[in-house]
Amino acid sequence: MEQCTIRGVGEIAVEHPEDIRDDAEWGRHGNKKFHDRPFDTIIGMIEYKAEEHGISVERVDESGLRTSKTCCACGMEASANRVERRLYVCDECGLVANGI
């Protein structure tokens, strides 16, 4: 949250992956690890820490947002901007983002 405060972030958008568990098929051990993740706890911690720093948290439904193709800074949509799995580079505004 300190980095968000330093950078002047006023709002964080998070998605609760409610239906993601239904589609997961990563083998017996992979599925167990995935299903054991406490999404509600993690999101609650984000909300708690954000509130301490005066940052609001909005829970959003990402389906249909085309986040892997749309720049969060300028809104430009292009498939070519997704350089590789976690790397996004916007040709329009120059944003470079590394997703988790």
At 20-31, the pLDDT tens digits run: 555 556 666 666
Q: Are residues 85 and 37 part of one domain?
A: no
Same-domain status, 58 and 90? no
| Domains: count for the chain | 2
| Range in 32-36, 53-57, 93-97 the model is least confident about | 32-36
Q: Are residues 56 and 78 in the same domain?
A: no
Mean per-residue pLDDT for 73-81? 80
Tell me what pLDDT residue 50 has.
94
Looking at the fold, whether 23 and 45 belong to one and the same domain comes out as yes
CB 46 within 8 A of CB 57: yes
78 in the same domain as 38: no
CA pair distance 34, 27, nearest whole angstrom? 10
Q: Are residues 9 and 49 in the same domain?
A: yes
pLDDT confidence tier of residue 66, bands split at 50, 70 and 90:
low
Same domain, 23 and 54: yes
What is the residue range of 94's domain? Answer: 66-100
In this predicted structure, what is the pLDDT of residue 34?
59
CA angle 46–48–51, rounded 5-degree value: 105
Does the pLDDT of residue 39 top 60, yes or no?
Answer: yes
44 and 77 share a domain? no
